[in-house]
Amino acid sequence: MRLILRKPDRSPDTGAPEPEVLGPARVGSRTKDLTKRLRSGDIAVIDHLDIDRVAADALVAAQPAAVLNAAKSTSGRYPNAGPGILLDAGIVLVDDLGPAIMELADGAKVAIQGSRVMHDGEVVAEGDRQSPESVATSLAAAREGLSAEIEDFAENTMTYLRRERDLLLDGVGVPDVTTKIDGRHVLIVVRGYHYREDLAMLRSYIKENRPVLVGVDGGADAIIDAGWKPDMIVGDMDSVSDRALSSGAEIVVHAYRDGNAPGLDRVRALGVDPVVFPATGTSEDIAMLLADDKGAELIVAVGTHATLVEFLDKGRSGMASTFLTRLRVGGKLVDAKGVSRLYRTRISSLQMTLLSLAGVAAVLTALWSTSVGQTFFGLVGAQIDDLVSWVGSLFGG
């Protein structure tokens, strides 16, 4: 073993020494799969070009000490939010490390010294250690090139429209399902931005309206974690648990247009007979199209993608379908995104105490205005007088 001694790396922005980070490496080419087995203090090793918000939120929830990215965390294609989210959470981010970093053995002990990754005293890879300043510079450059991305997105949207116009306009190809949807509200849950908070804010709505609960892949687990049971699960089944698939919900497997459905064998292995829905778009899109085609009165969406940056986060070719699906569903769709921030409670403990005291005072005043209340207060006053006299006699005697 050869030990390499170096001077401490210093931040290019502040000049201060950058602390060394030690931990076991957890390697995964798919970030959403890796986050399921990450533990606090681990070092996540990923290959994720343009880390998006959903991936960053999942990483932050796992609390790794650092994230090592074989690719560029921000390529300049569009202003993605992921790197900033990681840094704001205090997670070290080193990116553009190259494919060699993915060859680390899972569980290998590594040390991050500045922008270098060390294992057994050897430099495994060297990349760019990100800082708030470097991320801000990358995002500013990415915003300048956003117009080209918008043009590409528009082109992909037209391509999708030509390919799937029968499905979008006439519902051709939508399969039959056993779940009763006609005339009911449908709540579609996607494990996207702020889905936990928004789903929690909809408790009263769910209790009062009893909508059909549809989980899109991992959204089914979100429904179960919130205390409900999904009526239907839609998706390619790559991020939903066996627990959800075995919950009794109707399963709709999203297949490619050629009929190939990667998640079909997994579902059947659990003894579940699914419905297959071949379509080009995303799973959240076919969930909306299915609900609309089967006569849903209202479609409420939680965690779905709606903004331009969110479309680009998911990949412009894949999200062209979402743009057109939202046009197709039209006025039936209510997006619950951000409802938790809109109605966040801001009443302090002192305000609650004063409000309670005011309520008690109002009740006592109302009681005093009645003959029964006056009699009651008279009896209470007499009891207090007797108690005071008895205490006085004890100390006076």
Of 81, 110, 142, the one marking the end of a domain is 142
- 185 and 287 together in one domain: yes
Question: Is residue 349 situated within a structural domain?
Answer: no
Query: What are the angstrom distances between the C-alpha of 43 and each of 17, 35, 70, 134?
Result: 20, 11, 13, 21
pLDDT at 313 exceeding the cut of 80: no
- Give per-residue pLDDT as tens, 194-231: 788 889 889 999 999 999 999 999 999 999 999 999 99
Question: Is residue 4 situated within a structural domain?
Answer: no
User: Which tokens sit at 41?
Assistant: 């203090």
- 171 and 293 together in one domain: yes
- pLDDT of 385: 67
pLDDT at 380 exceeding the cut of 60: yes
364-390 burial: b if 16+ Cβ within 10 Å, else e: eeeeeeeeeeeeeeeeeeeeeeeeeee
Q: How confident is the model at residue 117 (pLDDT cuts 50, 70, 90)?
A: very high
Q: Which residue has the higher pLDDT, 117 or 337?
A: 117
Of 163-172, 182-191, 280-289, minimum mean pLDDT range: 163-172
- pLDDT of 140: 86
What's the mean per-residue pLDDT of the chain? Answer: 82
Number of domains, the chain: 2
Question: Is residue 1 situated within a structural domain?
Answer: no
Question: Residue 44 belongs to what domain range?
Answer: 21-142
Of 321, 342, 363, the one marking the end of a domain is 342
- Is residue 194 within 8 A of residue 306, CB to CB? The reply is no
Q: Which residue has the higher pLDDT, 352 or 333?
A: 333
- 161 and 254 together in one domain: yes
Compute the chain's Rg from CA coordinates. Answer: 29
Look up the CATH number of the domain holding residue 25: 3.50.30.10
- 189 and 324 together in one domain: yes
Question: Is residue 395 situated within a structural domain?
Answer: no
- pLDDT of 78: 80
d(CA 248, CA 262): 21
- 69 and 180 together in one domain: no
Q: Which residue has the higher pLDDT, 257 or 126?
A: 126
Question: Is residue 356 situated within a structural domain?
Answer: no
- 276 and 150 together in one domain: yes
User: By percentage, how much of the chain surpasses pLDDT 90?
Assistant: 49
- 227 and 205 together in one domain: yes
Of 142, 170, 203, the one marking the end of a domain is 142
pLDDT at 9 exceeding the cut of 60: no
- 117 and 219 together in one domain: no
- 172 and 308 together in one domain: yes
- 247 and 326 together in one domain: yes
Overall average pLDDT of the 27-31 stretch = 91
Q: How confident is the model at residue 316 (pLDDT cuts 50, 70, 90)?
A: very low
Question: Is residue 267 situated within a structural domain?
Answer: yes
- pLDDT of 241: 93
- 194 and 318 together in one domain: yes
- 137 and 169 together in one domain: no
Question: Is residue 14 situated within a structural domain?
Answer: no
3-class SS letters over 24-84: EEEECCCHHHHCCCCCCCCEEEECCCCCCHHHHHHHHHHCCCEEEECCCCCCCCCCCCHHH
Q: Which residue has the higher pLDDT, 62 or 280?
A: 62
pLDDT at 22 exceeding the cut of 60: yes
Question: Is residue 238 situated within a structural domain?
Answer: yes
